[in-house]
Structure 1
Amino acid sequence: MPTRRLLLALPALALPSRRAGAQAGWAPDRPLRMVAPFPPGGASDLVARMLAEALGAALGQPMQVENRSGAGGALGTEAVVRARPDGLTLLMGSQATHATNPALQKLPFDPMSDLAVVAGICGVPAVLVVHPAVPAATLGELVALARARPGSLRYGSAGIGASTHLAAALFAHLAGIGLTHVPYRGTAPATQDLLAGRIELMTDTLPTALPQIQAGRLRALGVSTPARSASLPEVPAIAETVPGYEALNWYAAYVPAATPEPALARLHQALAAAVARPRFQERLAQRGMLPLPGSRAAIAAYAAADRRRWTDLVLAANIRPD
């Protein structure tokens, strides 16, 4: 299936050997803590709780989820950076914590060097949607319309620097078109204005937008992954019209950089095995998410490439946070 090619940037997708973890000789002696650096109810919190449930039995210790939100995820990230490096405190890292935050603001730490990746968890595709009144049935027609009417098409987002903003800004930048950004205080009010026709388009996570697409209230023109999505197989990838386009809201687990290698190896084995379980993958698929397997080195390389992508965009488009 085309969606199986999604993990294009991960060169080594083999799961870790069980012998490596078995020989590591480390096991947690107390409950573990997973810090979700965003409020309850969001994707970061949801993925953290799914993972905590799956890991309890595998590690022989319960895993508690702690929501520590603020500064676009930076507060929770810093809490894990400063935590004791004993393998018991993990971060639900993401595109926001490791790629877009460092591109948008000066941080008192570097998530790439001050944290060590444990394992990739999943990716959440986005989809570009337009109001049905927009006279564009394809992405090519939307690009042509934007070129004919520079700046007249408005796209909404959850705020300056949000993934919904950057995904649309990247599309405009790579397509060479002028779109007008209308930031909102969250995705919900942006969606309401799009449904009402007060703005013309936006990018949103596929799980959030899918019900409106299926009901015919919004028209999907392209998905943000390099390959088509199984959830919307008839909708092309944006990259089919705008080469090089990719915007994936990804999630991976991290620990403080000084965490001993035996703990890292055991945690990687347990997390990778949890993500590979059919039941976990089924739960991801139900939410429009995709598993993100790979070695620790492959996930780190993917995160670094994603950080470069968004840093380049922020500089080229002169995006400044609120």
Structure 2
Amino acid sequence: MKAVQLGKFPGFVAAVLLAAIAFPSAAQNFPSRTMRFYVGFTPGTGSDLVSRLLARKMGERFGQPVIVEQKISSGGVLASEAVVKSPPDGHSMVLLSGIHPVLAAMRKSLPYDPVRDFGTVSLVSSYPIVISVASDSPVKSLSDLLARAKAAPGRITYSMGSTGSMLHLLGEWMNIEAGTTMVPVPFKGSSPALMDLLGGRIDAMIDTGTASFGQMRAGKIRALALSSAARY
């Protein structure tokens, strides 16, 4: 699939994930017990899928159980807070996505310091954001979607995650660049957004590549554009 550019703004790689972990105080004995991987988003989202894959591989590598625990909240704040409140011995982890720095900029207060309270272990993955419609949608291209949005101001809807998320920002950037007024509809995860897209209750879905590619291969959705300069 070729990347699509809107106006003069190039496609960007979104949802860069960083595994953040408190630094172990006794690295020579690490890990010494069961590890815990906190996930702040609903099952099936990009963060959830990548976290579960990492947990399984880490369990195999270290020979210790790695439990995935869901602490769902807006922006994944509860999962990040759980790591900060855990002993700083490296046994509690969270996957930080692109919304982590956005929250730091948008919210007046957070239950943690977004920089000082985390120790970055590694860049895990990067993937594009996908703009898609249901496979039976009359919308055939991104330009078609924007044309319909211009013809019906305030009536074309798209899914987003939390307010201020990368998905939301991309949708609003399209509105600014194209001069449209598409309406964002918040969802708590990819699965409910997909259900409403397939049910015709929203017109388009903006989601991560990890959550979208499988649905594309299954023929349930049709991608209109993705934020990448490379083919996938």
Partner amino acid for 2:117? D
TM-score for the superposition, normalised by structure 2: 0.69
Hey, what's the Cα distance between the residues in 1 that align with 2:59 and 2:187? 38
In the alignment of these two chains, the number of paired residues is 210
Shift of 1:107: 0.6
Q: C-alpha distance in 1, partners of 2:196/2:68?
A: 34
Q: Aligned runs of 1:38-53 on 2, under 5 Å?
A: 38=40, 41-42=43-44, 43-53=46-56
Structure 2 residue aligned with 1:117: 120
Aligned in 2, Cα 1:7/1:113: closer, same or farther, shift over 3 Å? farther
Counterparts in 2 of 1:30 and 1:185: CA distance versus 1, 3 Å: closer
Residue identity in the other structure for 1:49: R
1:130–1:218 Cα contact (<8 Å) kept: yes
Q: Which amino acid letter does the alignment assign opposite residue 118 of structure 1?
A: V
Structure 2 residue 36 is the aligned partner of structure 1 residue 34:
yes
CA distance in 2, matches of 1:60, 1:212: 33
Residue 159 (structure 2) aligns with:
156
CA drift of 1:207 comes to 4.4
From 87, 91, 95, the equivalent of 2:94 is: 91
| 1:289-300 equivalent positions in 2, closer than 5 A | none
> Residue 81 of structure 1 corresponds to which residue in structure 2?
84
User: SS state of the match for residue 182, structure 1?
Assistant: strand
Q: Give distance in 2, aligned partners of 1:213 and 1:30.
A: 42
Seq. identity, %:
35
CA contact (8 A) 1:130 1:219 kept: yes
CA-CA distance at 1:222 after TM superposition: 0.4
Match of 1:107 among 98, 101, 110: 110
Q: Does 1:142 find its partner at 2:142?
A: no
SS at match of 1:79: helix
SS in 1 for 2:132: strand
Distance of 2:195 and 2:64 partners within structure 1: 43
- Is this contact kept in 1: 2:13–2:128, CA < 8 A? no
Whole-Å separation in 1 of the counterparts to 2:78 and 2:28: 29
The 3-state SS of whatever aligns with 2:115 is helix
Q: Deviation at 1:76?
A: 2.0
State the superposition RMSD in angstroms.
Answer: 3.6
Q: C-alpha displacement at 1:55, in angstroms?
A: 2.4
TM-score normalized with structure 1 length: 0.52
Between Structure 1 and Structure 2, which shows a larger proportion of helix residues?
Answer: 1
